[in-house]
Amino acid sequence: MIRLENVTKQFGVVKAVDQVNLHITPGEFLVLIGPSGCGKTTTMKMINRLIDPSAGRILIKGKDISAEDPIQLRRQIGYAIQEIGLLPHMTIADNIALVPRLLKWPKKKQRQRVEELLEMVGLDAATFMHKYPRQLSGGQRQRVGVARALAVDPPIMLMDEPFGALDPITREQMQDEFIKLQEQVKKTIVFVTHDMDEALKFADRVAIMNHGKIIQCDSPEMILRRPANKFVRDFVGSDHTLKQLSLIKVKEAMITDIDTLHPDNTIAQAKELFKRGSSNIVVVAKTGEAIGYINREDLNKTPEDRFVSEITVNSISTVASDKTLKDALTVMLKNDAGYIAVSDENRKPVGLITSSRLRQIVSEPRLNSREEQ
């Protein structure tokens, strides 16, 4: 989709971007990250020709963009930057409809699109359409910025720290919404950020830059597990184990061979399960929800004609299967639990996460061993 070939940009004596090669595939979410001044913004601006490279070339859909009209090119590429980019003298509707207006869409279509986009980014169209940027909070303006970039449904989006100026809570909320949005719209995105957590959250691939060069361009997992050099390792930070957990979904890592018992099963039935080698037993209610677990010692001390309900330890925490392992760990720490149940969307237990399982995952030497199991 986008290909950078030996792209260099020199400002006087400063090599802002130095021999960069990148190939961004359709639908890919590529994050550019690196210390301040490393050339992220410059790299991005060369893609919509706000800056022209000093050497090398950039191809979009196979066509060299230096031969294309920059105005036409830019109208086909969504561009979102920090909130500063909204035009203060135009209403929110006019800001969002900026490119549609340039492309002379009919009025009615423009209006429909504005309403649609505002709803898409979680703002009530009737309330916000006729307001001005200065009447909005930082978070709301940021949403408008994203909506504006999506206005003509461009296949490519360039985003330069679009959530940079937000407080941490709003930021995280916007990030989560943005992930959902991207699942719907499936754009090819080049995203610049300073924030490693943000990068890991969004990226299909992360390109780490320093002094104008791409040091490593890899999947978040590879960046965390196999940093190319000390610079990447330092940049990722010492909490990379935790970061790694945030990359893995609970459902990918959980122990799935669990057995379930009902409270009115007999102890004999429970023993039978253990004899067959089952070690992960969850007690579930009639409604299907996990309600607790049983200990083997309790089981052995109890006569066989009694019921499971009598020895059930009625405390088990659950985590949804689409959460990350970091979320699972948080639940475990909060409840001081050695293991927790994983529930699907119907709250039925579908697996378990145990502390030993977590330890095993972070120490896995090989990347894909998880999937190979």
Nearer to ligand ATP, 27 or 37 (CB): 37
Please give the residues from 27 up to 66 whose contact with Mg ion meets the rule CB under 5 A: 41
User: How are beta strands 55-60 and 63-64 bridged, if at all?
Assistant: antiparallel
Could you tell which of other proteins, ligand ATP, Mg ion, none binds residue 99, using a CB distance below 5 to 8 A set by kind?
other proteins
Burial 1-24 (b: 16+ CB within 10 A, else e): bbbbbebbbeeeeebbbbebebeb
CB 249 within 8 A of CB 322: yes
Could you tell which of Mg ion, other proteins, ligand ATP, none binds residue 193, using a CB distance below 5 to 8 A set by kind?
none
Q: CB of residue 152 vs other proteins: minimum separation in angstroms?
A: 9
Nearer to other proteins, 192 or 350 (CB): 192
Nearer to ligand ATP, 48 or 318 (CB): 48
Q: Under the criterion CB under 5 A, does residue 216 sit at the interface with Mg ion?
A: no
Which of helix, strand or coil describes residue 343? strand
Q: Give the C-alpha separation, 165 to 33, whole Å.
A: 16
Please give the residues from 78 up to 117 whose contact with other proteins meets the rule CB under 8 A: 79, 81-82, 84-91, 98-99, 102
Could you tell which of Mg ion, other proteins, ligand ATP, none binds residue 288, using a CB distance below 5 to 8 A set by kind?
none
Q: Which of 37, 26, 28 is nearest to 18 (CA)?
A: 37
Q: Angle at CA 25, nearest 5°, toward 198 and 43?
A: 60
Could you tell which of ligand ATP, other proteins, Mg ion, none binds residue 243, using a CB distance below 5 to 8 A set by kind?
none
Could you tell which of ligand ATP, Mg ion, other proteins, none binds residue 65, using a CB distance below 5 to 8 A set by kind?
none
Kindly state the tokens that stand for 129: 């359409």
According to CB under 6 A, which one of 20, 24, 33, 38 is a site residue for ligand ATP? 38
Binding string, residues 119-148; x marks residues near other proteins by CB under 8 A: -------------xxxx------------x
Nearer to Mg ion, 128 or 191 (CB): 191
Q: Give the C-alpha separation, 341 to 317, whole Å.
A: 6
Q: Which of 362, 47, 82, 26 is nearest to 204 (CA)?
A: 26
DSSP secondary structure string for all residues of 251-301: HHHSB---EEE-TTSBHHHHHHHHHTT---EEEE-TTS-EEEE--HHHHHH
Q: CB of residue 58 vs ligand ATP: minimum separation in angstroms?
A: 15
As a residue count, the chain comes to 373
CB atoms within 10 A of CB 226: 12
Q: CB of residue 44 vs ligand ATP: minimum separation in angstroms?
A: 8
Nearer to other proteins, 122 or 138 (CB): 138
According to CB under 6 A, which one of 6, 14, 306, 313 is a site residue for ligand ATP? 14
Stretch that binds other proteins, among 60-68, 72-80, 311-319, 335-343 (CB under 8 A): 72-80
Kindly state the tokens that stand for 324: 């990350």
Q: Which of 216, 193, 217 is nearest to 204 (CA)?
A: 217
- 214 φψ region: left (φ > 0), alpha (ψ -120 to 50), beta (else): beta
Please give the residues from 41 up to 100 whose contact with ligand ATP meets the rule CB under 6 A: 41-42
- Radius of gyration for the chain, computed over Cα atoms and rounded to the nearest angstrom: 26
Could you tell which of other proteins, Mg ion, ligand ATP, none binds residue 39, using a CB distance below 5 to 8 A set by kind?
ligand ATP
Q: Residue 106 contacts by C-beta under 8 Å, 6 or more apart in sequence?
A: none
Q: CB of residue 49 vs ligand ATP: minimum separation in angstroms?
A: 14
Residues near Mg ion (CB under 5 A) are 41
Residues near other proteins (CB under 8 A) are 45, 48, 50, 71-75, 79, 81-82, 84-91, 98-99, 102, 132-135, 148, 158
Residues near ligand ATP (CB under 6 A) are 11, 14, 16, 34, 36-42, 194
